[in-house]
């Protein structure tokens, strides 16, 4: 049994506001045994997984950490909404700053993923996507942890370790991306060939991405400003 099972079992019980004693009675085990399951000290059998899934009204795959969907559904490309899809969660009210930054980031990412598609290199796409995924994860953890009352059970990385682990994973993904971009093979994946590398310049970017280029240029300027750098005037 993997560690996800213990974490998710604990999360579901706390979400429902149940005591270990109540859940143990409902599932037909002792409180001590349930505690061992939740702490990962002992492994349960398949029959217990099925009973627990029925009790919490989730799928066995969700309990085992094999899918983020509680019903057990597998996420496909078609299931993912477009960033600009109409919905109440996409209506941003109040300060214009989050709206502005969202557009700058979304437009810049359009260029990034368009370039990755043109490169046609699986390893490079995987590693750069990992860098972006980890950056979003780190930002979300900061926001989520701002309220100490928020339950931490949805995360495998405990508070205090998440920053170090995500920083390390980001550094590895970044190093892998640079390695592949330099033409080196990464494990079983081929490095980027020289004729696959995109020819880029501010003029070419403006020409190829007239709608998004301005956002990317602004993002680069803002990032380097945070680094304490300023472009030298010619």
Phi and psi based region of residue 50 (left: phi greater than 0; alpha: psi -120 to 50; beta: remaining)? alpha
The answer to which of 26-40, 64-78, 80-94, 160-174 has the lowest mean pLDDT is: 80-94
At 234 the pLDDT is: 53
Global confidence as pTM = 0.69
Same domain, 161 and 99: yes
Same domain, 110 and 148: yes
- Is the alpha carbon torsion for 132, 134, 138, 143 positive or negative? positive
Between helices 96-119 and 213-226, what is the axis angle to 10°? 110
In the DSSP assignment, the letter for residue 149 is T
Domain membership of residue 68 (yes or no) is no
Same domain, 113 and 212: yes
- Across 179-207, average pLDDT: 94
Q: Cα(113)–Cα(85) distance, rounded to whole angstroms?
A: 19
At 92 the pLDDT is: 52
Same domain, 171 and 137: yes
- Across 175-189, average pLDDT: 94
Structure tokens at 200: 């880029």
Domain membership of residue 232 (yes or no) is no
Same domain, 93 and 182: yes
User: Where do we find the tokens 């010619």?
Assistant: 234
Structure tokens at 13: 């019980």
At 229 the pLDDT is: 86
At 160 the pLDDT is: 86
Domain membership of residue 75 (yes or no) is no
Same domain, 138 and 101: yes
Same domain, 208 and 100: yes
Same domain, 137 and 189: yes
Same domain, 42 and 111: no
Domain membership of residue 231 (yes or no) is no
* Residue 123 belongs to domain spanning: 82-226
At 174 the pLDDT is: 97
The answer to which of 23-27, 95-99, 171-175, 211-215 has the lowest mean pLDDT is: 95-99
Domain membership of residue 151 (yes or no) is yes
Residue 125 scores a pLDDT above 90: yes
pLDDT digits (tens, 9 = 90+) for 57-100: 988 888 888 877 777 666 565 555 566 654 555 555 556 788 88
Same domain, 59 and 99: no
Residue 3 scores a pLDDT above 70: yes
Same domain, 55 and 109: no
Q: Which of 97, 101, 102 is nearest to 83 (CA)?
A: 102
3-class DSSP state for residue 80?
coil
Taking CA atoms, 210 is separated from 99, 104, 111, 138, 222, in Å, by: 20, 14, 10, 31, 20
**Burial 132-161, CB ≥16 within 10 A → b, else e:** eebeebeeebeeeeeeeeeebeebeeeeee
- Report for 6-10, 63-67, 148-152: range of highest mean pLDDT: 6-10
Q: 68 phi and psi, to 5 degrees?
A: -80, -10
Average pLDDT, the chain: 87
- Report for 3-7, 72-76, 174-178: range of highest mean pLDDT: 174-178
Same domain, 58 and 86: no
Alpha helices for 2-121 (secondary structure H)? 3-16, 20-27, 31-39, 46-56, 60-63, 96-119
Domain boundary among 33, 63, 93: 63
Residue 171 scores a pLDDT above 90: yes
Domain membership of residue 69 (yes or no) is no
Q: What percent of the chain has pLDDT over 70?
A: 87
What CATH number does residue 22 fall under? 1.10.260.40
Work out how many domains the chain is built from and give that number.
2
């Amino acid at each position: 049994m993997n560690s996800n099972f213990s974490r998710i079992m604990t999360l579901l019980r706390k979400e429902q506001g149940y005591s270990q004693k109540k859940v143990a009675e409902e599932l037909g085990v002792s409180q001590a045994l349930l505690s061992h399951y939740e702490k990962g000290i002992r492994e349960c059998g398949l029959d217990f997984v099925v009973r627990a899934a029925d009790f919490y009204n989730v799928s066995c795959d969700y309990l085992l950490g094999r899918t983020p969907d509680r019903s057990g559904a597998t996420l496909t490309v078609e299931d993912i909404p477009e960033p600009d899809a109409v919905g109440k969660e996409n209506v941003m009210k109040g300060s214009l700053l989050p709206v502005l930054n969202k557009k700058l980031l979304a437009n810049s990412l359009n260029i990034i993923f368009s370039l990755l598609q043109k490169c046609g290199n699986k390893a490079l796409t995987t590693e750069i996507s990992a860098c972006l995924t980890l950056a979003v994860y780190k930002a979300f953890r900061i926001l989520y942890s701002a309220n100490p009352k928020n339950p931490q059970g949805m995360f495998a990385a405990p508070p205090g370790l998440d920053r170090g682990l995500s920083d390390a994973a980001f550094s590895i993904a970044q190093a892998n991306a640079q390695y592949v971009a330099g033409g080196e093979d990464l494990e079983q994946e081929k490095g980027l060939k020289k004729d696959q590398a995109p020819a880029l310049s501010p003029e070419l970017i403006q020409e190829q991405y007239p709608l998004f280029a301005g956002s990317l240029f602004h993002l680069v300027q803002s990032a380097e400003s945070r680094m304490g750098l300023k472009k030298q005037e010619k």
